[in-house]
Structure formats: structure tokens, C-alpha cells
């Protein structure tokens, strides 16, 4: 039997002092967990600022190159061509950035970090949702840079501030929805390099075989038909309409329906692959 009057073991006292005696804190909800994972992704940019090159340098380079190289052949002046070019180039710049979502996820899986997240008592999809929220910040940065430089070069949207904000908001919705495609591929592809190659094979035809840079009426009939059914062309048409005050409800509705379809299809595939990995 243990002597009740015996002196207490100092080691036991230290252990008891180190153990929390209060109530266990409640588990984070889905919203707070997603914000935390999004903040983690933003901190990665702080430590590796080169990640912002695709958000800053590349959109600026594209805008300058396309404006001054093609304006002489496609319009009367750089300023005139810029009125049609900027919405399409803005859409292309941001849509290309969506690829980074899948690459980041694929890197986390390859490095084993994703497995560590699975052991945490959090809403598991918050890891993916947080990465998407971080990328939404990247989309905003790219949009502001392209618009700011475009205004300096002579872009004048007839739709005013409201039209520009609405066009950017529509672009963010579409980009967020498209990001789910890359998250699904992030689970499937073995390396980030293979994911990058597969993404480029999809993105180049999607963005360049469109009405972003050239009027489809100048193309052969069969190619014009392809351009007309291209989802990216519908996005560019709606953005141009919003920026210049000529958008119709139908043009905007088509983009929203496409965005909803992308999110439902590839979001479901992503969640299936996510749970299959567990």
C-alpha cells in the first residue's frame, strides 16, 4: 500500500503541472480551418517570392508584347487594339495561374505533408479549399496589375468602375471553378512536371483557339465554329461586354453555368480522389 504521508514525487508533480487541466478546446470549424490553410499557402509565398513571377512579370510581359506586336496588323493603333485585347489577355493571364493550384497540391502529396494533414482533427477538405482561397488572392494581384498597366497604356472601359469590377468578379468565379480541374489532376499525376505538361496541353488550345486576340469572323469556317463553342471565348465575350457596358444577361449566365458545371464535376472528382487516398 502507498503511504499517504509519503513525500510527493517531484517528477510526477512536474508532469501533472505540464498537463492541461482545463477543458479541451473545441475543434476548429470548416471555415476557420480553411482560412488557416489559406494563410499557410500565403506564407509560402513570403518565403519563396519567386512564386509571384507568374502573377506579376508574365502578365505584364504578355500585355506589352501583344499590344505592340499585333496592333499594327489587327487594328489601327495600339490603343484601339487594347480595348479588345485587354479583357481577353486579363482572362488568359488569370486562367493560366489556376494551374498552380494543382502543382502545389501535387508537391504536398509528394513530400508527405498531405499525409500529416490527415492526422489533424480538422475538416479534411480545408487543405484543398485553403489553397484555392490563397490562389484567389493571386488572381486579384494579377488582375490589378494588368488593369493598372492597361489604363496607363490607354485602355478606357465604357462600362466604368462597376463594369470592370463585375468583369473581374466573373473571372474570379470562373477561375475558382476551373481550379478544381487541376486539383483533381494533382491527385492523379505522379509528378508536378507531368501535371504541368498535361495542364499546358489543355490550356494552350483553350486560350489561344478563342476570340481573345483575333475576331473569329476572320478565321476559316470550321475554326470559327470551334472558337464559338470554346468556354474561354464565352468568358472573354462576357468580360468585354461588362467592361464596355454591352453585356447581356445571357452572356453572363452562360459563364456562371459553365462555372457551376466545372465545380460540380471536378469538385466531386477531387473529393472522390481525396477520400480514396485516405
Summarize pLDDT for 90-142 with one digit per residue, the tens. Answer: 999 899 888 888 888 888 777 777 777 777 777 777 888 888 888 888 888 88
Taking the C-alpha atoms of residue 150 and residue 63, their distance in angstroms, rounded to an integer, is: 8
Average pLDDT over residues 23-28: 67
**Entry pTM:** 0.82
Burial class for 121, CB neighbours closer than 10 Å (0-12, 13-18, 19+): exposed
Alpha helices by DSSP H, listed for 7-125, are: 10-18, 30-47, 57-74, 78-97, 99-111, 113-118
More confident residue, 13 or 182: 182
Taking the C-alpha atoms of residue 156 and residue 163, their distance in angstroms, rounded to an integer, is: 11
Mean pLDDT of the chain: 84
The confidence band for 225, taking pLDDT boundaries of 50, 70 and 90, is very high
Q: Are 37 and 131 in contact (CB under 8 A)?
A: yes
- pLDDT for residue 3 is more than 60: no
* pLDDT tens per residue, range 195-205: 888 888 999 99
- pLDDT, position 80: 85
* pLDDT tens per residue, range 27-71: 677 778 888 888 887 887 777 777 677 777 888 888 888 888 877
pLDDT > 90: percent of the chain: 31
Amino acid at each position: 500500500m502507498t503511504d499517504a504521508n509519503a513525500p510527493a514525487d517531484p517528477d510526477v508533480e512536474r508532469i501533472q503541472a505540464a498537463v492541461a487541466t482545463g477543458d479541451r478546446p473545441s475543434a476548429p470549424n470548416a471555415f476557420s480551418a480553411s482560412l488557416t490553410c489559406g494563410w499557410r499557402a500565403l506564407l509560402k509565398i513570403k518565403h519563396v517570392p519567386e512564386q509571384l513571377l507568374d502573377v506579376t512579370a508574365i502578365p505584364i510581359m504578355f500585355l506589352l508584347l501583344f499590344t505592340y506586336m499585333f496592333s499594327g496588323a489587327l487594328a489601327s493603333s495600339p490603343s484601339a487594339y487594347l480595348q479588345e485585347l485587354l479583357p481577353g489577355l486579363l482572362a488568359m493571364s488569370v486562367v493560366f495561374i489556376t494551374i498552380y493550384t494543382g502543382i502545389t497540391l501535387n508537391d504536398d502529396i509528394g513530400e508527405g505533408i498531405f499525409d500529416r494533414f490527415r492526422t489533424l482533427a480538422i475538416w479534411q477538405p480545408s487543405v484543398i479549399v485553403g489553397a484555392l482561397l490563397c490562389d484567389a488572392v493571386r488572381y486579384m494581384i494579377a488582375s490589378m496589375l494588368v488593369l493598372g498597366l492597361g489604363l496607363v497604356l490607354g485602355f478606357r472601359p465604357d462600362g466604368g468602375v462597376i463594369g470592370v469590377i463585375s468583369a473581374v468578379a466573373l473571372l474570379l468565379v470562373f477561375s475558382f471553378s476551373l481550379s478544381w480541374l487541376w486539383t483533381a489532376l494533382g491527385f492523379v499525376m505522379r509528378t508536378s512536371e507531368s501535371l504541368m505538361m498535361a495542364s499546358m496541353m489543355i490550356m494552350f488550345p483553350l486560350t489561344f483557339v478563342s476570340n481573345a486576340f483575333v475576331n473569329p469572323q476572320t478565321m476559316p469556317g470550321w475554326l470559327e465554329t470551334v472558337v464559338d463553342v470554346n468556354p474561354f471565348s464565352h468568358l472573354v465575350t462576357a468580360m468585354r461586354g461588362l467592361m464596355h457596358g454591352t453585356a447581356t444577361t445571357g452572356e453572363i449566365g452562360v459563364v456562371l453555368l459553365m462555372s457551376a458545371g466545372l465545380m460540380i464535376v471536378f469538385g466531386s472528382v477531387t473529393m472522390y480522389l481525396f477520400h480514396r487516398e485516405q
